[in-house]
Structure 1
């Protein structure tokens, strides 16, 4: 075999994201609070970047800055006469230092002070979790060591709703006796909130209903009465009331234990027939079941309150709406002049010069990207304001369909750029605070030949269902026909899809039977 080296020329095109471009994409997607955190982190990591305090500018400092600028100009002129030039000096930093060196790069006055600022009530302490709440209760109980360990094993396997989803083999070791497992589960079932430790919805509701049953029985016992009516009893209004409530709770227990599927389908008539009970008692029992908590753990597993601060505002000035960026509280940045002088000193070591150069490049790239982020958001919002005038005047009913692709074409950028510009960002309007993505939605053929946003279509579907006769709920065909009658051209499949998106049950499940 004859092996000889060969040289081939191959031409190809590849898209390569530079570090600066990657940072630009990342900065664009940040909201105001996230951008503030990022800037603070960059200030810590990059000594070339400085934050300017609002009250740090005195007359002496301003005079000193003017002197520094004059000396810097002389140094530059002197270096230009030298035969050896540093490639770094060929970069035009003039415009950047003019804006970012002194007196500092800061947000322009945006008159955003007219809007309410977040109060300290929005900053909440860490809430108690379900696990903390249950372990605190167990700690106050006198339990044998092996029983306490078994109880804690159960608590460690509860989900956010308070349900026990793990199998016994996953919770306990093979040596744990069955009796000990049952005792541990009984302890958990007695803890607050009632219903934790249940395997499913039926057991969760039963635990709460049986606890109510026990309370009523104990109350009757305190009166020296029994749950059953004794002919020899003297009339007692309070005892009679307790017995009536007990009957309702007992009926609720029977419904949950044996007929929960009929309850989900709201088939009251069949439940009455199977229980051989009075219709009124069954209705009251169902009303009691609705007071029970199907997810008892959620009250202690609340997510932390999310602080929302608008990135932009649509403010009416005269007869027009204008876009105002909210740059309040964002750090004002400048480039450190001391490091610049270090670069122009011949005695500075090469390693130090290289490090400072790299830090300057990084700082200027960040300042560019912050400015680019602002420009992109403002241009995008300008289009939103121009297209959503009716919303700004009338509210949601005036919303118009608008696609991200259309806005991108109008401002001359890729749709992904607009998508990042509106991601996780909020706007303050006269109609309230809205996420910027709220203004983007597809449309269907609405009345008078105009497009109707899907948001309003869903709103109309929901309103029709809320106003329907619960004994004769509207089918998807009926909803479609009514919308078409109003001039909204939509198919049955579309109506069914958006009804399901709003988690509205089907006609069969909405029907209320006598």
Structure 2
């Protein structure tokens, strides 16, 4: 056996993740909103790229296997026109232009109301602004009155007097120091703070949350029906009065694909409305054609042009992939589009991958964070991928349709005798759907429906 060292030549095949391939994969994963931000970043980094804000209209595409041949050399030669796609029609419509921007903060809202209060001294206004500035996002006071008095050099009575004024501001309940106080302030404002409900708020909120109405009735000295009425009233109050003015980042949903029904056929349209159109700067094209340009400058411009070209190809590939995947989903879920969610079929990403001749990971990226607008509403593309449950007839039912059936049965139940998870399982079995009690409980919790004990009415 030869154990010596030596030099040998052999051929191997391996996949190399080039920057261009990584960019194409990244673009495929982006939603419509994220793609706009990404294109703006690329335009900032690449001086050759220009973005034209006027959007492109959606091009209707029939349910046929696309056979699009794109001449990228022609696109480069026509880069002065700025068009990287075959679509010519333009539209100035941008859905984000019609989104309301909520800029009023809780501090601004309360400060404005403070300006309407007459007769306050300078110290009282200072105390009020200090307390307003120490409210959390729920509208609760984070600081103790003793600490506020120490910091402002005021007496505890002065702090309490100003806080009492804030308690009358909108939204009612703002400035509370606990959930109990927040609820009591709202009850006082509505004139519903009788002794029994005040006692329930102060001592039995935990029992109320767990529907221990019998225990509360015995402690308070009233009937179970009265406790039920008090629970309904308290649940109608707002436990987080300041949440409406929270300045959290807003995420907008723009459908990446639209499905419309024309006569008896469903038409798939890729939504390019919100995406800026890619252009090539005419200035750099002229600079490249000048013979006086230095070799280093020409090389730089060539590199940037190639990068812009690859970006355009990646965008077009993303559009074609979304179109093909959505077409396959519409074809497989035709009954859903015709009749509703109860006809949603079990479907996996592997089935779609085989149908469109793509890898399963590509299907996952293409449907991630993507939304489709249909005649039945806006859905995430991953909504159509559901697991299956066996039926008595041997066919499969999607988990989503079973969830809707469970919800429908609960909505029709007698609230004085609500259906248990076991009873729901038996009722579904009578309809031919084999499902265990544990699975019913899982689906019910996913739909945020309480248990039968908490749904019971007295």
- For the aligned pair, the TM-score class normalised by the smaller chain equals 0.7 to 0.9
Q: Alignment partner for residue 204 of structure 1, among 168, 182, 202?
A: 182
Give the corresponding residue for 1:76.
none
Q: How do 1:122-133 and structure 2 match up within 5 A? A: 122-133=98-109
Deviation readout 1:473-499 (Å, 9 max, x if unpaired): 222211222222221111222111121
Q: How do 1:37-48 and structure 2 match up within 5 A? A: 37-39=37-39, 42-43=42-43, 45-48=45-48
State the shift of 1:155 in Å.
3.2
Asked if residue 158 in structure 1 is aligned to residue 110 in structure 2, the reply is no
Give the corresponding residue for 1:25.
25
Q: In the superposition, relative to structure 1, how do residues 434 and 447 fare at CA in structure 2: closer, same or farther (>3 Å)?
A: farther
Query: What is the aligned length?
Result: 434
Give the corresponding residue for 1:83.
none
Q: In the superposition, relative to structure 1, how do residues 365 and 350 fare at CA in structure 2: closer, same or farther (>3 Å)?
A: same
Q: Give me the whole-angstrom Cα distance separating, in 1, the residues matched to 2:451 and 2:148.
A: 39
Deviation readout 1:38-68 (Å, 9 max, x if unpaired): 44554465443356799xxxxxxxxxxxxxx
SS at match of 2:242: helix
Give the corresponding residue for 2:435.
490
Give the corresponding residue for 1:457.
402
Give the corresponding residue for 1:478.
423
SS at match of 2:180: helix
SS at match of 1:469: coil
Q: Give me the whole-angstrom Cα distance separating, in 2, the residues matched to 1:17 and 1:170.
A: 59
Q: Alignment partner for residue 372 of structure 1, among 307, 317, 322?
A: 317
Asked if residue 108 in structure 1 is aligned to residue 87 in structure 2, the reply is yes
Q: In the superposition, relative to structure 1, how do residues 15 and 493 fare at CA in structure 2: closer, same or farther (>3 Å)?
A: farther
Larger Rg: 1
TM-score, length basis structure 2: 0.79
| Deviation larger for 447-456 or 492-501 | 447-456
Q: In the superposition, relative to structure 1, how do residues 156 and 401 fare at CA in structure 2: closer, same or farther (>3 Å)?
A: farther
Asked if residue 192 in structure 1 is aligned to residue 137 in structure 2, the reply is no
Give the corresponding residue for 2:68.
none
SS at match of 1:427: strand
Q: In the superposition, relative to structure 1, how do residues 251 and 31 fare at CA in structure 2: closer, same or farther (>3 Å)?
A: same
Q: Give me the whole-angstrom Cα distance separating, in 2, the residues matched to 1:285 and 1:462.
A: 26
Specify every segment of 5 or more residues in structure 1 that has no aligned partner in the other structure, as ranges. 1-5, 55-91, 214-245
| Deviation larger for 328-337 or 426-435 | 328-337
State the shift of 1:387 in Å.
0.7
Q: Give me the whole-angstrom Cα distance separating, in 2, the residues matched to 1:310 and 1:364.
A: 26
RMSD of aligned alpha carbons: 4.0
State the shift of 1:282 in Å.
5.2
Asked if residue 137 in structure 1 is aligned to residue 137 in structure 2, the reply is no
State the shift of 1:506 in Å.
2.0
Deviation readout 1:131-153 (Å, 9 max, x if unpaired): 22123334555656666555444
8 A contact 1:189–1:197 mirrored in 2 = yes
Deviation readout 1:248-304 (Å, 9 max, x if unpaired): 734322222233234334444544443334677656544543442222112333868
8 A contact 2:345–2:398 mirrored in 1 = yes
Q: In the superposition, relative to structure 1, how do residues 119 and 22 fare at CA in structure 2: closer, same or farther (>3 Å)?
A: closer
Asked if residue 383 in structure 1 is aligned to residue 359 in structure 2, the reply is no
State the shift of 1:309 in Å.
3.6
8 A contact 1:310–1:428 mirrored in 2 = yes
Give the corresponding residue for 1:422.
367
Give the corresponding residue for 1:300.
245
State the shift of 1:381 in Å.
1.0
Q: How do 1:10-409 and structure 2 match up within 5 A? A: 17-39=17-39, 42-43=42-43, 45-50=45-50, 94-98=73-77, 100-102=79-81, 104-108=83-87, 122-141=98-117, 148=125, 151-164=128-141, 179=156, 182=160, 185-213=163-191, 249-277=194-222, 285-301=230-246, 308-317=253-262, 319-328=264-273, 330-336=275-281, 339-340=284-285, 342-409=287-354
Q: Give me the whole-angstrom Cα distance separating, in 2, the residues matched to 1:418 and 1:406.
A: 10
SS at match of 1:448: coil
Deviation readout 1:366-422 (Å, 9 max, x if unpaired): 111111111211121121111111112112222112222332343343434323322
Q: In the superposition, relative to structure 1, how do residues 107 and 468 fare at CA in structure 2: closer, same or farther (>3 Å)?
A: same
Specify every segment of 5 or more residues in structure 2 that has no aligned partner in the other structure, as ranges. 55-70
State the shift of 1:34 in Å.
4.0
Deviation readout 1:302-324 (Å, 9 max, x if unpaired): 86876544322223456443322
